[in-house]
Chains A and B, each alone.
Chain A
Amino acid sequence: MSLFKARDWWSTILGEKEEFDQGCLCVADVDNSGSGQDKVIVGSYKGYLRIFNPHPVKPGDEVQPEDLLLEVQLREPILQVEVGKFVSGTEGLHLAVLHCRKLCVYAVSGTQGNVEHGNQYQIKLMYEHNLQRTACNMTYGPFGGVKGRDLICIQSMDGMLMLFEQESYAFGRFLPGFLLPGPLAYSSRTDSFITVSSCQQVESYKYQVLACATDADERHDTEQRKLSSGKRLVVDWVLNIGEQALDICVASFNQGVSSVFVLGERNFFCLKDNGQIRFMKKLDYSPSCFIPYCSVREGTINTLIANHNKILNVYQDVTLKWATQIPCIPVSVKVANFQDLKGVIVTLSDDGHLQCSYLGTDPSLFQAPKVDSREINYEEMNAEMKELQKIIREATKTQDILPESEKQRDVTVTAEVSPDLDEESGISNRDFTFSEGTQRSVLCILICHRNDKSFHVNSVFINLMQAIDSEVKAGAVPSVTVKITIRSRVTAQKPSLAVCVQAPLAVTCDQFVFNDLEPDSSETVVLSVFLKENCSPPELEGTCIVSYNIPTELNPEGIPRVSQCNFSLPLKLVCIPAQPSKAASHKITIDTNKPPISFITIFPDFVDPSEGDQANALGFQFLAGSKTTLLASKTSQRYRIQSDQLEDLWLVTKELIHRLKEHFRKQNCKDFACTFSGSIPLQEYFELIDRHFELRLNAEKYQEMLSERAVQFRAIERRLLTRFKDKTPAPLQHLDTLLEGTFREVIALADAAEENQANIFQAFAKLKSATHLLIMLISLWQKLNTDQIAILEATFLPLAEDTQELGWEETVDAAVSYLLRTCLSKSSKEQALTLSSQLSMPKDTSRLKKNITLFCDRLAKGGRLSLSTDSATQQAAVMPGGCATIPESDLEERTIIPGSTAVFPSHGQTTKQKSKPGGVVCRLIKGTSVQLCII
């Protein structure tokens, strides 16, 4: 991250596909011109040696041909180039070139040419040494304090230091504990070599010690080297820096203290002569190379560190002074003085990008890419905006999500329930006909088909699949076949069908995925519905929903749509004909205004025709319930339904009234009506409520106990953890037994809670049946119209699921008391009461019972159920708290019980609020600035 970029003074790209590394760049006045003008010497792994003398006419110019003083190809890769006083008898600078197995020293000289720019440069080999071992890097200096000449020390790949006193080989020493070579530097102040070993230590070896130690060449055998302990190579000082180093430099400027700089992989160290840390800096980037170059302020040293993010940082000790961008990652950086410019930064990248640059305030212009936006045409935009606004207004005028009207339906779904039960139902509880193997292979087939995307639903497979255990304790569980057909007039993408019936009923397969439907095509699936759990269903209805996408011009992905249809299931699915029984504890009597009809006519599927027309009693045995008997009075126009259980009356009563109405509708008899005169069986109903509520209380108790046990479990766990963590293990003191005991308790409690959950479910199903019965009786008793029945249903059968947090009792209580306060209220005083804001589980059911009783009383006294507009604004409060956030589920529930939407007022009606004085001062949350992510 940098504000500025390095200003290009002169740059070139060397060769093609050549490799360069740390040692390949050297800056010095190699031809001894005496002008103090540095030349740039570059060697490559391909063996090219190049010498440049950059002198651009103006900064950033093209490279002139005469800038390249010399280019020769040597026969071996060049690992390192250095310039020093390498030739005896002269103090002139010479060029040392390190190859893998050879060290060559050249003299570089220029001869004045005849024309102006015709200087001619050449190199002359002064001497060369062949090396026994593969070289790695080298350093030079006045070893041992010699004056006026430089000695060379070469480090080999296997850890030998080879020292050359100019033309002659002096000695070689193995470094102890060597594995991989590290950087090497010579400190003239202490006359020692400094390197970083594989043990991640900075090590310093005195030249004197090296010279006195056993010669490595004389004893090649490693065994002997170990034995000759007399003059072992002793390290001067060691500093553990805990990381590998990239480079070492020894620097002292202006008679200041000399320091050893070590560039590690993650830190930058400055060491004193004795190996103590003077300062260090943690680098938050990967450095590539560095050079300490001068001391601007007394006591501080400036360093250039380049990194792999292509940034060159200038540090004064640890303070960042400047950061600049450079075009590539340098492997080596030097500072050079040229004719007219001092302190030029010379960088070399590993692909041969050689650049001389200087620091400047040239901003590193980052050109943000143009945002993909259209050319602004205000008229068009205005028009588009208006159109969009119109669409939005339309959409917000109605409710956000509203089912479409039927006539626009492009895809229709129809369900056909077969009139007879399946002859051979695949469902059984005991004599399970298919072996495990069969089932598995069928599953395999289904899965394969799905993977092919050519999955066509096959009813045979489905029937095999449906070999599901039913919990009903009867001999054979009947099932009924439902055939669902989807017809499409347009192309429908990704159609999927979901079939749902209310538990305890179940379907054999409830999800189907089809291929895209062509226009005017249809798909048919067949499935079976059966009673799964051991209780009677409150409703014998089911829904199937198809969701699909219709592609449009603007939106090829398609707009999601749904279409649905309901189907009702036959009564025979859940009960079988039985002998009528005379005695029963619950009885209700339905009056009609027509003479009684023979049961043979209206219940042909239950009455055995052999019994003749004297059948005025009919028995129904519920698969998962008691026996219900239907009696028709021979003299009066009455029917009696009786059973031992209240909830079992519902389905039969409903079926009876439904069939009677059907019968009279067929006979074109319009004034048929049923009435109910007797008292509403509220007491029995309350018993069911109490039963459900008791189970809910139980569930709460279980939950509390579970959380208690869980807390206890965690506490024991924590204790154990501390015990185990202790250095001196203390005895467990039966904590483990306690842990296991608590664990078992938790599991047992969870099992009990699950069982309780199942009981709640059954109790709720019964309660629902009874509630349906109650609603029907009230409506027959008070002769309510359909709107009023809808209100009643919405009041007593809330859409929300029955859960522990929000149960049936409190929801119905809120709804009933709302009705009592509004349309059934006796005085205006009652209306003023406000609702409690949060629905919570009541302590007992007495309030609810009282309210229901009162509700029935008020209805009996002539109260009318109506929801006038003036109370509509308050209406939404009946909605269970905070459920408005999930509109999807709203839709779903609404589709299950159509007609109950009447309770929800549309939001367009609330005009009254506008007259409120003054605006409500509310706090907007201020715009939040977003946190920056790590770059």
Chain B
Amino acid sequence: MGLEPLFQAWSYFRRRKFRECADVCSQLLEGPPGEQELDSEYTVFQAAWNLKTRALTEMVYVDEIDMDQEGIAEMILDENAIAQVARPGTSLKLPGTSQGGGPSPAVRPVTQSGRPITGFVRPSTQGGRPSTMEQAIRTPRTALTARPITSASGGYVRPGTASLITNPDGPFINLSRLNLTKYAQKPKLAKALFEYIFHHENDIKNALDLAALATEYAQFKDWWWKVQIGKCYYRLGLYREAEKQFKSALKQQDMVDTILYLAKVYLRLDQPVTALNLFKQGLERFPGEVTLLCGIARIYEEMNNISSAAEYYKDVLKQDNTHVEAIACIGSNHFYSDQPEIALRFYRRLLQMGVYNCQLFNNLGLCCFYAQQYDMTLSSFERALFLAENEEETADVWYNLGHVAVGIGDLNLAYQCFKLTLVNNNDYAEAYNNLAVLEMRKGHIEQARALLQTAASLAPHMYEPHFNVAILSEKVGDLQRSYTAAQKSEEAFPGHVDTQQLIRQLKEHFAML
């Protein structure tokens, strides 16, 4: 009593037991050589081949929409830019294009590009876009902001190497020996083969060839092939061509994925407003689609329009109240708008849902502290330290512990915490700044100044070190240095009242002289 092997493999595939499925298929494929012809209309061989291709693809499948990495070369050699200086509110490249509603950097920390930090790490939230190659190379590159030179050398490499691991006898399909034209005329094989080449082998050029032949064979009537060609073009950096393909596919068939791909192209072309409109059109066709809502919220967040972003995140939660990203973002939003109690509720919800990591406990600890629930603060941080997986996370937790220590007035503890932060991650500009403030209180002016200079060189986008240098120099009587530092601070954060006051004061002083 036994099952038919092909049926067994088919059943394994449906239950996502891909390893077993591929093994059974391999046995089937080792049959007599006479059957190993893909030309005939239907054979068990063909079916097994197809199933194995799909199983191998599924093993390494990553949704292409989530894959996003922009290398330095792509940013610099960007020939798609329409205007050198975009108008406010139409570009993601200019940091200061806030349309109001967002908290100031005094309250919410910003990333290197001047955008408020978000509550959820996504592939595209790393760092900003430098304007020239020189600046790109000189930007302080810490472990967390390192950017590949080109996207071809970045994260895409990882999926492609899967082919080396899965089969010790060599690749399952030898791409160089494939007759793509022949396969393109067999739609049922071609689609699986394409996904295999794209996801498993990561060979975009061959994938594009196959897709081009197949769409021709289908007389340009199959939207799926157009989307695939668009995906290939996107990977190759041909954004305008990709846009054409996606648009053409959307004309044939409305699909959520196509909309997401097209929006991704627009974002890469730095046209957030077009992407927003596209998403909104998509929402009319697919009302309540979570991925579209979430896309809108992300764009608003990147454009520094926090209140709109929060609205859309709330809409996401109305559709899907287990959406971790939305909960985390709303939570961090509440935290930075001085409502730690509400943020606490969101983070607690995440905890109840089973999120269990260092970041969450760290945030819980901070919320507890600001919500004056001191009993929970230290135990949360203790757990966060326990759960920290790498030194950067440990550094974050120690930094926040130091901050709590400052809050309760235990400056010795704070000093030691900041020192520990720097032990774990010596690129931590905030810790340098805070340590400098503590040193200043001790009266070690020179040490404080050195620390502040380090902080400023590590994180030129922060205004605090510049401002602190300005204050420090002003107290010492070094007005000239104070003035230059204050100007740098104003550049980093134009709306900072204290800086403006200081500059005014200094100007008056200079006028008196």
Say whether A582 faces chain B, with CB atoms less than 8 Å apart.
no
Residues of A within 8 A of B120 (CB): 931-932, 934
Say whether A873 faces chain B, with CB atoms less than 8 Å apart.
yes
Out of B58, B256, B366, which one reaches A267, CB within 8 Å? B256
Tell me, in angstroms, the Cα distance from A252 to B320 when the chains sit together. Answer: 25
Quick check: B288 and A242 within 8 Å, CB to CB? no
Interface-side segment among A365-373, A410-418, A597-605, A612-620: A365-373
B32-51 interface bits toward A, Cβ cutoff 8 Å, 1 = contact, 0 = none: 00000000011010110011
Interface size class of B (residues with CB under 8 A): 35 or more
Knowing A77-B3, A282-B257, A885-B454, the reply to whether A1 touches B353 (Cβ < 8 A) is yes
Interface-side segment among B145-153, B177-185, B272-280, B437-445: B437-445
Interface residues of B in 56-109 (CB under 8 A from A): 58, 63, 76-77, 79, 107, 109
Report B25 CB to chain A, min CB distance, Å: 11
Tell me, in angstroms, the Cα distance from A907 to B442 when the chains sit together. Answer: 11
Knowing A319-B288, A366-B354, the reply to whether A928 touches B117 (Cβ < 8 A) is yes
Say whether B213 faces chain A, with CB atoms less than 8 Å apart.
no
Tell me, in angstroms, the Cα distance from A320 to B443 when the chains sit together. Answer: 59
Interface residues of A in 121-167 (CB under 8 A from B): 134, 136, 157-159
Say whether A169 faces chain B, with CB atoms less than 8 Å apart.
no
Quick check: A881 and B453 within 8 Å, CB to CB? yes
Knowing A910-B443, A926-B109, the reply to whether A246 touches B14 (Cβ < 8 A) is yes
B1-16 interface bits toward A, Cβ cutoff 8 Å, 1 = contact, 0 = none: 1111011001100111
Residue in chain A with minimal CB distance to B433: A925
Quick check: A371 and B382 within 8 Å, CB to CB? yes
Out of B11, B42, B396, which one reaches A928, CB within 8 Å? B396
Quick check: A914 and B188 within 8 Å, CB to CB? no
Report A826 CB to chain B, min CB distance, Å: 22
Residue in chain B with minimal CB distance to A222: B41
Tell me, in angstroms, the Cα distance from A331 to B15 when the chains sit together. Answer: 7
Residues of B within 8 A of A914 (CB): 443
Residue in chain A with minimal CB distance to B393: A930
Out of A288, A714, A929, which one reaches B362, CB within 8 Å? A929
Quick check: B403 and A926 within 8 Å, CB to CB? yes
Quick check: B2 and A198 within 8 Å, CB to CB? no
Q: Which of A308, A721, A928 has the most CB of B within 10 A?
A: A928
Tell me, in angstroms, the Cα distance from A926 to B356 when the chains sit together. Answer: 24
Quick check: A240 and B224 within 8 Å, CB to CB? yes
Interface residues of B in 182-208 (CB under 8 A from A): 187-189, 191-192
Q: Which of B3, B416, B433 has the most CB of A within 10 A?
A: B3
Out of B7, B50, B319, B367, which one reaches A179, CB within 8 Å? B50
Residue in chain B with minimal CB distance to A180: B47
Tell me, in angstroms, the Cα distance from A371 to B380 when the chains sit together. Answer: 10
Say whether A785 faces chain B, with CB atoms less than 8 Å apart.
no
Tell me, in angstroms, the Cα distance from A434 to B191 when the chains sit together. Answer: 63
Say whether B131 faces chain A, with CB atoms less than 8 Å apart.
no
Residue in chain A with minimal CB distance to B2: A77
Report B451 CB to chain A, min CB distance, Å: 8
Out of B187, B318, B332, B366, which one reaches A199, CB within 8 Å? B187
Tell me, in angstroms, the Cα distance from A288 to B34 when the chains sit together. Answer: 37
Interface-side segment among B162-170, B465-473, B503-511: B465-473
Report B423 CB to chain A, min CB distance, Å: 12
Quick check: B354 and A1 within 8 Å, CB to CB? yes
Quick check: A282 and B256 within 8 Å, CB to CB? yes
Main secondary structure, interface of A, reads loop
Quick check: B457 and A159 within 8 Å, CB to CB? no
Residues of B within 8 A of A371 (CB): 379, 382-383, 386
Residue in chain A with minimal CB distance to B362: A930
Quick check: A266 and B63 within 8 Å, CB to CB? yes
Quick check: B77 and A280 within 8 Å, CB to CB? no
Residue tally, chain A, CB below 8 Å to B: 102
Report B461 CB to chain A, min CB distance, Å: 12
Quick check: A364 and B399 within 8 Å, CB to CB? no
Residues of B within 8 A of A722 (CB): 79
Report A233 CB to chain B, min CB distance, Å: 15
Tell me, in angstroms, the Cα distance from A103 to B399 when the chains sit together. Answer: 69
Interface residues of B in 347-367 (CB under 8 A from A): 349-360, 362-363, 366-367
Quick check: B42 and A159 within 8 Å, CB to CB? yes
Quick check: A282 and B77 within 8 Å, CB to CB? no
Quick check: A931 and B117 within 8 Å, CB to CB? yes
Quick check: A714 and B41 within 8 Å, CB to CB? no
Say whether B118 faces chain A, with CB atoms less than 8 Å apart.
yes
Q: Which of A45, A884, A922, A924 has the most CB of B within 10 A?
A: A922
Say whether B125 faces chain A, with CB atoms less than 8 Å apart.
yes
Report A903 CB to chain B, min CB distance, Å: 13
Quick check: B440 and A920 within 8 Å, CB to CB? yes
Tell me, in angstroms, the Cα distance from A136 to B289 when the chains sit together. Answer: 35
A-B contact count (CB 8 A): 283
B421-444 interface bits toward A, Cβ cutoff 8 Å, 1 = contact, 0 = none: 000000000100110110011011
Quick check: B3 and A929 within 8 Å, CB to CB? no
Out of B119, B286, B454, which one reaches A931, CB within 8 Å? B119
Tell me, in angstroms, the Cα distance from A914 to B441 when the chains sit together. Answer: 9
Out of B58, B444, B464, which one reaches A907, CB within 8 Å? B444
Say whether B142 faces chain A, with CB atoms less than 8 Å apart.
no
Say whether A829 faces chain B, with CB atoms less than 8 Å apart.
no
Knowing A722-B79, A725-B238, A935-B357, the reply to whether A179 touches B46 (Cβ < 8 A) is yes
Say whether A75 faces chain B, with CB atoms less than 8 Å apart.
yes
Say whether B400 faces chain A, with CB atoms less than 8 Å apart.
yes
Out of A159, A350, A934, which one reaches B15, CB within 8 Å? A350
Say whether A707 faces chain B, with CB atoms less than 8 Å apart.
yes
Interface-side segment among B262-270, B306-314, B321-329: B321-329
Tell me, in angstroms, the Cα distance from A718 to B406 when the chains sit together. Answer: 51
Knowing A366-B354, A919-B441, A933-B121, the reply to whether A21 touches B289 (Cβ < 8 A) is no
Knowing A363-B352, A925-B109, the reply to whether A877 touches B446 (Cβ < 8 A) is yes
Report B329 CB to chain A, min CB distance, Å: 9
Out of A200, A876, A929, which one reaches B335, CB within 8 Å? A929
Residue in chain A with minimal CB distance to B401: A927
Quick check: A922 and B319 within 8 Å, CB to CB? no
Out of A198, A246, A721, A929, which one reaches B119, CB within 8 Å? A929
Knowing A75-B1, A928-B430, the reply to whether A714 touches B133 (Cβ < 8 A) is yes
Quick check: B472 and A318 within 8 Å, CB to CB? no
Residues of A within 8 A of B188 (CB): 177, 179, 197-199
Residue in chain B with minimal CB distance to A47: B1
Quick check: B382 and A373 within 8 Å, CB to CB? yes
Knowing A916-B443, A922-B472, the reply to whether A930 touches B478 (Cβ < 8 A) is no
Quick check: A932 and B4 within 8 Å, CB to CB? no
Say whether A863 faces chain B, with CB atoms less than 8 Å apart.
no
Residue in chain A with minimal CB distance to B63: A266
Out of A76, A331, A881, which one reaches B1, CB within 8 Å? A76
Interface residues of A in 315-333 (CB under 8 A from B): 317-320, 323, 331
Residues of A within 8 A of B332 (CB): 929, 931
Out of B4, B133, B379, which one reaches A100, CB within 8 Å? B4
Tell me, in angstroms, the Cα distance from A270 to B259 when the chains sit together. Answer: 18
Report A861 CB to chain B, min CB distance, Å: 31
B156-177 interface bits toward A, Cβ cutoff 8 Å, 1 = contact, 0 = none: 0000000000000000000000
Residue in chain B with minimal CB distance to A21: B11
Say whether A871 faces chain B, with CB atoms less than 8 Å apart.
no
Interface residues of A in 753-801 (CB under 8 A from B): none
Out of A240, A281, A707, which one reaches B222, CB within 8 Å? A240
Interface residues of B in 409-424 (CB under 8 A from A): 412, 416
Say whether B254 faces chain A, with CB atoms less than 8 Å apart.
yes
A to B CB contacts below 8 Å, 19 in the list:
A3-B352, A3-B353, A158-B44, A282-B256, A282-B290, A318-B287, A318-B290, A320-B319, A725-B79, A916-B475, A920-B472, A922-B468, A929-B119, A929-B343, A929-B362, A931-B121, A932-B121, A932-B324, A932-B360
Q: A100-B4, A159-B42, A286-B16 are in contact. List 14 more A-B contacts (CB 8 A).
A: A134-B4, A158-B44, A180-B10, A198-B191, A200-B224, A279-B286, A281-B290, A317-B288, A318-B287, A318-B290, A320-B320, A927-B404, A929-B119, A935-B324
